[in-house]
């Protein structure tokens, strides 16, 4: 569904000015938007999955392990598809708490695509280079939104999400390097126009939400603090937007309607989107492995 049509439906949770800001900036931060009850449940589920990661010795399709991970002191980059590994996460994805927010920016009929839980354990956990999301999972329109929830809150030294306002209206850049490797980040040469004072890095207490449009340029810095920065991320679209490539992160829940009704017609936005590798044939390695592979290629090239 296109923004003009979405805005004809009354908002559920956001004020009209917040909605306008989302469509103007390409993101919106809402400090403490998620209720303390849900934050407590998410934290409990997260602690359970971290316990499970203690027996994990190498990254697999479930956990992406950070350097130095051990049974005694788990260090995790990410839990893939948390909604398939703990019932509380699916309950949350499909809850009114989340889908009412999603509906405010994608329209009344809401479809789930995928989710992940990024941990950024602290004491130097890597950040994310500048990227746009939609090139990794193209859809027939640009309604997809990622709803990020800072379970324990986020402060400036914990590597918050950083966004460049208005970039959802600009071009989609390549996520391949000059040699044709998919690197899930934008090329430095495409970003020479970017200045530090253009970047926004909202922070907030536990339950703070970031609504992020799929075209917006964003990234995040290293978590230099001693504290983990768990960020639960769930991707939704309008029910009438359809992915046309395999998803990098698969789930039996992909495509489930979590609010409203399924579509009878698809929505199309003609603006082009670069295609990712065919994720049904090429395993999606995640941004950290891609970064390491890129560093190794650079080192080998001298």
Ligand X SMILES: O=C(O)CCC(=O)C(=O)O
**Per CB under 6 A, 104 contacts ligand X:** no
Measured from the CB of residue 63, what is the shortest distance to ligand X in angstroms? 15
Q: How far apart are CA 110 and CA 136, in angstroms?
A: 20
Q: Which of 25/267 has CB closer to ligand X?
A: 25
**Per CB under 6 A, 29 contacts ligand X:** no
- Using CB under 6 A as the binding rule, the residues of this chain from 141 to 170 that contact ligand X are 159, 161
- Using CB under 6 A as the binding rule, the residues of this chain from 113 to 132 that contact ligand X are 118, 128
Q: Are 109 and 263 in contact (CB under 8 A)?
A: yes
Output the residue with the shortest Cβ distance to ligand X. Answer: 220
Residue 150, helix vs strand vs coil: strand
Binding mask 230-249 for ligand X (x = CB under 6 A): -x-x----------------
**Per CB under 6 A, 25 contacts ligand X:** no
Residue 17, helix vs strand vs coil: helix
Residue 233, helix vs strand vs coil: strand
Q: Are 138 and 225 in contact (CB under 8 A)?
A: no
Number of residues that bind ligand X (CB under 6 A): 9
Measured from the CB of residue 300, what is the shortest distance to ligand X in angstroms? 27
Given 86, 126, 168, 218, the residue binding ligand X (CB under 6 A): 218
**Per CB under 6 A, 133 contacts ligand X:** yes
Q: How far apart are CA 239 and CA 262, in angstroms?
A: 6
CA distances in angstroms from 18 to 6, 34, 208, 233, 236, listed in the order given:
14, 16, 15, 20, 18
Q: The tokens of 90 are what?
A: 């699916």
> Which residues of this chain interact with ligand X, rule CB under 6 A?
118, 128, 133, 159, 161, 218, 220, 231, 233
């Amino acid at each position: 569904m296109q923004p003009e049509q979405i805005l004809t439906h009354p908002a559920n949770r956001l004020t009209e000015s917040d909605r306008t800001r989302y469509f103007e900036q390409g993101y919106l931060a809402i400090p403490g938007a998620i209720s303390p009850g849900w934050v407590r449940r998410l934290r409990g589920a997260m602690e359970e999955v971290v316990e499970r990661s203690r027996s994990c010795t190498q990254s697999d399709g479930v956990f992406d392990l950070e350097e130095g991970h051990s049974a005694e002191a788990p260090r995790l980059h990410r839990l893939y598809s948390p909604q398939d590994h703990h019932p509380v996460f699916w309950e949350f994805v499909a809850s009114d708490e989340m889908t009412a927010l999603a509906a405010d920016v994608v329209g009344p009929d809401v479809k789930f695509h995928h989710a992940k839980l990024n941990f950024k354990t602290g004491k130097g956990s890597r950040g994310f280079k500048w990227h746009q999301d939609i090139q990794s999972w193209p859809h027939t329109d640009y309604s997809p939104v990622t709803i990020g929830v800072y379970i324990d809150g986020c402060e400036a030294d914990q590597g918050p999400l950083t966004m460049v306002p208005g970039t959802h209206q600009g071009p989609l850049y390549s996520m391949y390097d000059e040699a044709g490797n998919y690197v899930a980040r934008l090329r430095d040469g495409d970003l020479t126009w970017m200045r530090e004072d253009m970047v926004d890095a909202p922070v907030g207490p536990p339950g703070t939400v970031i609504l992020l449009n799929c075209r917006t340029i964003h990234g995040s810095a290293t978590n230099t603090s001693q504290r983990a920065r768990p960020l639960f991320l769930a991707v939704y679209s309008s029910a009438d937007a359809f992915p046309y490539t395999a998803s990098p992160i698969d789930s039996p829940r992909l495509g489930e309607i979590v609010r409203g009704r399924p579509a009878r017609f698809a929505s199309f936005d003609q603006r082009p989107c670069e295609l990712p590798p065919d994720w049904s044939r090429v395993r999606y390695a995640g941004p950290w492995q891609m970064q390491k592979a890129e560093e190794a290629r650079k080192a080998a090239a001298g």
